[in-house]
Amino acid sequence: MAILGLSQFQYTTDWSYETSEDMSIGLIGTYSKGTVVLSNGATGEEMRIGYKALAGSLSKGLPIGLSKSHFTDPSGGVGPVCSNRYFDAMCFPCRGYILSAGATFGESGEILAKIFDMPPPKPGPNGGGVSIFYFGAWPFAGFRCWGQFTATTPGGGLSAALAGFGIVD
């Protein structure tokens, strides 16, 4: 389990996950583009890290889909950013990896409501997931997070992505 966690890193940092936004388009593989916001509890600094990623997955659902999350959607971090060295904005740009697991009902809730003559679901996120972000081709830092998103089609699965990270102004 150590490979899926953060136990390979020696240090915890003052940085932690604050929020994120993402847009993903899936057609057999998945392309994602987003921004993660980390905050430093000791200094009050904020770091915005943009990313672009290409992912392969093991999943059930339609082979095509679109999902989007906003900074205002519910999300959170699971512990601080862990690292093997000093971690700050000077570590970027870099390559890395994103491992994720998620599921969504997509827009099927509205269709089911019509079929069973029920009120439609409330607007808002219709899926959720957990992710581990690894910074560096040979990872030097990482963090875990969870979040909710809105998707067009139902499905669920596990994915592994190659990503490029950089500081966003």
Confidence of residue 4 (pLDDT cuts 50, 70, 90): low
The one-letter code for the residue type at 99 is L
Enclosing domain of residue 140? 2-167
Q: How many domains does the chain have?
A: 1
Q: Is the pLDDT of residue 97 over 50?
A: yes
Per-residue pLDDT at 2 exceeds 60: no
Residue 8 confidence (pLDDT) above 50: yes
Q: What pLDDT is attached to residue 3?
A: 47
Specify whether the CB–CB gap between 144 and 131 falls below 8 A. Answer: yes
pLDDT in tens, 154-165: 889 999 999 999
Segment 31-36 shows an average pLDDT of 97
- Whole-angstrom CA distances from 63 to 29, 84, 111, 150, 159 are 8, 38, 19, 17, 14
